[in-house]
Structure 1
Amino acid sequence: MAVDRSAPEGVEPHRTPVQWLRSARTDSIVAVCYLSLAVFVLAGLWSNPRSGYLTKSDQDQTLFEWFNAITARNITHLASPFSTQLQNYPDGVNMMANTLMYGWGVPFAPVTLLFGPTVTFVSALTFGLFSTAFAWYWVFSRELVTAKFAAAVGGVFCGFAPAMIAHTNGHANFVVLVLLPLIALQIIKMARHAERTVGERTVWQPRAAVVLGLLVALQLTLGEEPLLIFALGFAVFALAYLRTRRAIALSFRAVAPSVLLAALITLTLTGFGLWWQFAGPQSYRFIGIGRVGNDVLSLFQFSPESAGSMFSFGPDVSINPTEDNAYFGWPLLLLVAVTAFFLRRERIVRAAGIVVVVFTTLSLGIVLSFDGVVRFGEGDFAMVPMPWLAFGWIPPLNGIIESRFAMAAVPGIAIILALGTQRAIEAWRTRAAMRRPVAWFAALTFALLPIAPTVLPVSERPPTPAFFAEGTVRQYVSDGSVVIVPPPTSADAVALRWQVDADFAFPLVGGYFVGPSGADRGAGYGADPRPTAVLLMLARMFDTVPVIDQARRDQARSDLRYWRADVVVLPPTHSGDVLRRTVDDLLGVQAEQVDGVWVWDVRGVG
């Protein structure tokens, strides 16, 4: 990936102090621009971190705030970081099998304790956007192009691509991706060093291996799925770049010893946590093939969170607002295709183009979907199978949401944009032909402006009931749990916020987490609902008091014993009167109103 410089390949030319200061000044300006853009995107949440909520986050902001809060609590209470019973009581939650992001939550525990989990959450999102963009800019400016502006173009796309902005609505683990380009840079440097020592039979680079092992281990504490997707993308890029079997074999042999050493270091640091994740209590396994691929139209449309959305009249084919993993827009894809054609003789452009094509195709999932329709024509064979159908059942690939494969195309597109900008700048400097540079920058502006991010919408979250916020709940909890009516799920996890505001004074029945579901222990969101929980959810859904017979009363008592319940709590909610009468009838006890909620003290109910 090294460009043609005056110094030998991969070696920075000697720079005078003045040149170094100019370079550092440029880097600083780029960093400030990226940081300003990140703050702009999250301005709504920064302006109200106490009660602001990302409108399109669904329940994910609540979940990540809970992760931040439980991390800080575990540190101050010297509690186990591997499992907890504060959700899904009494079965508990395998913390290592969830996206707790210990790599961020642990160092930011003081911030969480002092300013609350929302500040830690929005800090992660802001840092993720800014640092991911700057890390890619750093790699591009040192390894790909000589013009800092060209590198900045590639960096801003990597850090603020529509998929990054979509995940900023709630998935911090898919936003803090700063280590991925650094991992790529480290492997590139290791390969380059090995090439210079081609006469040696085995090339050991222990220092580089230690750095790589630490980077990968830290990335595992921030997000495993982004690392897996990136590793697949980087592998395809490397194979396409090297091309021939001989080149691939020589490169593999050259870096394999050091990469294996790095892998050993990573496993030493993270091995027990990975074992707990996949084999510990409340672990799970991914089963079968889901259909969560991108619609073809999502590749060409503009994201709702981009400036071009006001001019986009296409159908809504989004999976959900946090999973708009493509949405490159047709002007950008057209520019990338034309640029790749004109620069097709450059090996790195061909490799980047292959990555873009391969991973956008994989992101379409197991069957083709166009305008939300997956069936074409008539008959039993009307569905159009896609390549992911052949791979989606293989562990751990079956744990990937396939639409996210489009994110592996983002660095490939950025490489093509950066090189196109570099060639335009070179042409501009030679003054040989002004039309091409002008045409390039006009096309680049036309392609990037429509996908420029906008401020993410923020709404006001309802206040926590005084029963929890003022600690009244402590009077009703002995050694058992709190049962919210109905128990929290991935669709309604607001009770996690109440638990945080009560300083984790009680364990919750149900919750929002990933855990085993059913007899086959496949991955599922939340607890397997018990009959009483299902009954309460249906009562709220249909706003109707169900028929309560003795069998249902006995089942309710059985479920309360299983949950080791101390108190049943009905907070303000729609269908509240229906739910109160339902629980009154189930328990044979009248509710008591305490600090804004209805309470049934069930410590004496056997």
Structure 2
Amino acid sequence: MATIPRWRRRLSHRISTDLTAAATYLALAVYIGHQLLAAPNSRLLARNWQDQVLIEWFLAYGSRVWLGDFDLVTDRLNSPDGVNLMSNASHIAHAVLLAPVTWIWGAPVSFAVALVLNLAATALGWYLLFSRELVTSRIAAFTGGLFAGFAPGMISQSQSHLHISAGWLTPLLFWCVIKLWRSKRPVRWGALLGVLAAAQLFVGEEVLFFAVAATAIFAIAYAAQNFAAFKARVIELGLGLCTAAFIGLALVAYPLSVQFTGPQHLINAPFSAEYFSADLLSWIAYSPLTWAGEATDITPIAPNHTELNTFLGPVLIVLVVVTTVFLWRRRPVVRPLAVVVLLMFALSLGPEIIIGGTRTGVPGPYALIADVPVIDAALPTRYALVAIPVIGALLALIVNAAKPRGLLTALRLQLGGLPGDRHLVARWTTLIVVAIALVPLFPTTLPVAPRMPIPDFIASGQWRDCVPPGGVLVPVPPPTPGNPNTMRWPAYANGAFGVPEGFFLGPYGKDGVTSMGTWSRGTARIWRDVWETGAVPVIDDEQRAKTREDLAAWKADCVVIPDYGRQSELIRVTTDLMGPGEPFGDVWIWRVP
């Protein structure tokens, strides 16, 4: 009987191990998002549902790339002024990749699928990188990938910040850099690096910025301790990086020009660095999205439940420090990794050090870059996310040093009275400490809440009787950042019609600074007041004239009142404003001539 060649057995074992890791990561990701996956059309994320509604709109509209009906500045939201998609986290890559899912099952299903696959694919990407380039033990690589994909910060960002939790291209970017360092064909690897960087721009710009920053810091620290090797490779590296920059910029030149100079572009960072800074004590706290921290009150030490990026717990922090000290001389790669972690830790603290919710008045390192254009758009606390895969690499290295594959054999020899591994106790202790650090960080499922239903008028496609393709439907009340529910109507129709106002980032603040949404016209404010209070105001001819102006400004084709939320009061006031409407299935409509 013919024997199987050793190389084939090794390849088969490697593939089966990789598939097992992938299946495990996917199962864990499904567990985290299973409440949303079970009923995506009737549930949404409880703690950040507004962002979810916005992303579902992006996923729906972005699917129109395949139909040739897509623009980077679109009037399908905030009609007719529109929204600059490049100035928003518009999830274009997710939308393009998940378009078939969106068309068949709807944007809410695509959102749930993206949430799950982001986590699993990110963990798998780091596992593959670690197992091929960093460690020999698959268990060690699996541990590092597990943390990189499912750390508390990643679970926190999964609450509707899918452009941040999508870290699956980042390991490929680093792999290209590694190959560029070693290869004699720098142009080839530089070209691939440029293409991947351009692709990452459409997955999430912030992650691309962090990846570039981390790579630069690591490279400088690595070159400092290996200057002779760096000097010998400087020409090849320069050629590869220039190739990457040329190809990457050529691919994204137009989108970036739209982002920074196009209609509806933003002139400043939308969020406050002071508010989104990490509290010093948050690094040793447990996230409420983990087993150990379910009852944790984050109010004093975190801005909200979606920015729990630094909640690592005291044991893991100590383990990272001890691992760095232990491997400092044994594995030179640990030194630049430690530099990256330390710098990201420092930058996450923001422009002023905060301890236990109290501002100390002591400036943080972030203050040095707080006013640098473009860089200031990255929230300080999110710099901590850069440390997550680096800590994953350190975990992989320390588990690899413990040689877990040979531990059971060594233990059997020891128990049998035979000569055993003299470092057996130390190796087992190492793995136990790693387990003690990671088990409390095991994620809980993301909490969900019921969502308002879609009117049958929209779901059945009856809206086409009232709005032409690409026309404007005015839901009553129009969507706002605080209540974007009616943005789900065009999302359900895959962006086939537009709506006025909405939830997005736009230039509607004082002197054109960044705002959430836009200012509301008088008619929208009347509808919104009636929706919230139930009080129907007295309407005069002047207000009717203003309503006609508002409808003309919106380029409205149809006004629609759903069968929920003070419908009778809204029908009365709209009739006073526009004249009689007509019932149409489960809604009332007013056709705008």
Q: Which TM-score band (shorter chain)?
A: 0.7 to 0.9
Q: Gapped runs of 5+ residues in structure 1?
A: 1-13, 195-203, 377-382
Aligned to 1:272: 254
Partners in 2 of 1:553 and 1:384 — Cα distance? 56
Answer whether contact 1:206 1:258 (CA < 8 A) is retained: yes
CA RMSD of aligned residues (A): 2.9
Shift, 1:225, TM fit: 0.9
Aligned to 1:3: none
Shift, 1:228, TM fit: 0.3
One-letter code aligned to 1:17? R
Answer whether contact 1:482 1:507 (CA < 8 A) is retained: yes
Aligned to 1:414: 392
Shift, 1:419, TM fit: 1.4
Answer whether contact 1:465 1:595 (CA < 8 A) is retained: no
SS in 1 for 2:294: helix
Shift, 1:97, TM fit: 3.0
Partners in 1 of 2:531 and 2:305 — Cα distance? 26
Once the two structures are superposed, residues 325-371 of structure 1 have per-residue CA deviations (whole angstroms, 9 ceiling, x without a partner) of 22112221122122223323343222222222211221122222333
The equivalent position to 2:83 in structure 1, one of 78, 88, 93, is: 93
Q: Percent sequence identity over matched residues?
A: 35
Partners in 2 of 1:568 and 1:494 — Cα distance? 16
Partners in 2 of 1:576 and 1:366 — Cα distance? 48
Aligned to 1:337: 321
Shift, 1:483, TM fit: 2.4
Once the two structures are superposed, residues 35-56 of structure 1 have per-residue CA deviations (whole angstroms, 9 ceiling, x without a partner) of 2112221222222234332223
Q: Does 1:369 align with 2:359?
A: no
Q: Gapped runs of 5+ residues in structure 2?
A: 411-419
Answer whether contact 2:190 2:241 (CA < 8 A) is retained: yes
The equivalent position to 1:304 in structure 2, one of 288, 292, 315, is: 288
SS in 1 for 2:116: helix
Partners in 1 of 2:158 and 2:531 — Cα distance? 31
Q: Does 1:257 align with 2:235?
A: no
SS in 2 for 1:347: coil
Aligned to 1:357: 342
Answer whether contact 1:294 1:363 (CA < 8 A) is retained: yes
Q: Does 1:144 align with 2:121?
A: no
Answer whether contact 2:106 2:492 (CA < 8 A) is retained: no
Partners in 1 of 2:138 and 2:550 — Cα distance? 63
Q: Does 1:131 align with 2:115?
A: no
Answer whether contact 1:287 1:393 (CA < 8 A) is retained: no
Q: Does 1:51 align with 2:51?
A: no
Q: Does 1:501 align with 2:479?
A: no
Aligned to 2:553: 562
Answer whether contact 2:32 2:446 (CA < 8 A) is retained: yes
One-letter code aligned to 1:235? A
**Cα–Cα, structure 1 residues 589 and 250, in superposed 2: closer, same or farther, change >3 Å?**
farther
Aligned to 2:476: 485
Partners in 2 of 1:537 and 1:387 — Cα distance? 44
Answer whether contact 1:474 1:505 (CA < 8 A) is retained: no
One-letter code aligned to 1:276? V
**Cα–Cα, structure 1 residues 245 and 527, in superposed 2: closer, same or farther, change >3 Å?**
farther
Aligned to 1:20: 11
Shift, 1:448, TM fit: 0.5
Aligned to 1:41: 32
Shift, 1:542, TM fit: 5.8
Shift, 1:508, TM fit: 0.3
The equivalent position to 2:172 in structure 1, one of 157, 172, 182, is: 182
One-letter code aligned to 2:128? W
Shift, 1:591, TM fit: 5.8
SS in 1 for 2:44: strand
The equivalent position to 1:159 in structure 2, one of 127, 149, 171, is: 149
Shift, 1:184, TM fit: 0.7
Q: Does 1:518 align with 2:489?
A: no
SS in 1 for 2:113: helix
Matches within 5 A, 1:60-71: 60-71=51-62
Partners in 2 of 1:584 and 1:535 — Cα distance? 13
Matches within 5 A, 1:154-233: 154-193=144-183, 205-233=186-214
Partners in 1 of 2:122 and 2:222 — Cα distance? 24
Answer whether contact 1:470 1:502 (CA < 8 A) is retained: no
Partners in 1 of 2:471 and 2:296 — Cα distance? 53
SS in 1 for 2:289: coil
Answer whether contact 1:570 1:599 (CA < 8 A) is retained: yes
Shift, 1:391, TM fit: 0.8
**Cα–Cα, structure 1 residues 25 and 245, in superposed 2: closer, same or farther, change >3 Å?**
closer
Shift, 1:402, TM fit: 2.0
> In terms of mean alpha carbon deviation, does 67-76 or 307-316 score higher?
307-316
Answer whether contact 2:103 2:494 (CA < 8 A) is retained: no
One-letter code aligned to 2:223? L
Answer whether contact 1:360 1:406 (CA < 8 A) is retained: yes
Shift, 1:181, TM fit: 1.1
SS in 2 for 1:459: strand
Aligned residues: 572
**Cα–Cα, structure 1 residues 391 and 549, in superposed 2: closer, same or farther, change >3 Å?**
farther
Partners in 2 of 1:255 and 1:507 — Cα distance? 48
Shift, 1:98, TM fit: 3.0
Shift, 1:396, TM fit: 1.1
Partners in 2 of 1:435 and 1:461 — Cα distance? 53
> In terms of mean alpha carbon deviation, does 344-353 or 216-225 score higher?
344-353
> In terms of mean alpha carbon deviation, does 396-405 or 503-512 score higher?
503-512
**Cα–Cα, structure 1 residues 313 and 592, in superposed 2: closer, same or farther, change >3 Å?**
same
Shift, 1:548, TM fit: 5.9
Shift, 1:510, TM fit: 0.9
Shift, 1:160, TM fit: 0.7
Answer whether contact 2:62 2:70 (CA < 8 A) is retained: no
One-letter code aligned to 2:400? Q
SS in 1 for 2:473: strand
Partners in 2 of 1:317 and 1:279 — Cα distance? 37
Answer whether contact 1:302 1:328 (CA < 8 A) is retained: yes
Q: Does 1:80 align with 2:70?
A: yes
Partners in 2 of 1:65 and 1:249 — Cα distance? 49
Answer whether contact 2:32 2:444 (CA < 8 A) is retained: yes
SS in 2 for 1:133: helix
> In terms of mean alpha carbon deviation, does 26-35 or 117-126 score higher?
117-126
TM-score (normalised: structure 2): 0.88
The equivalent position to 2:104 in structure 1, one of 77, 98, 114, is: 114
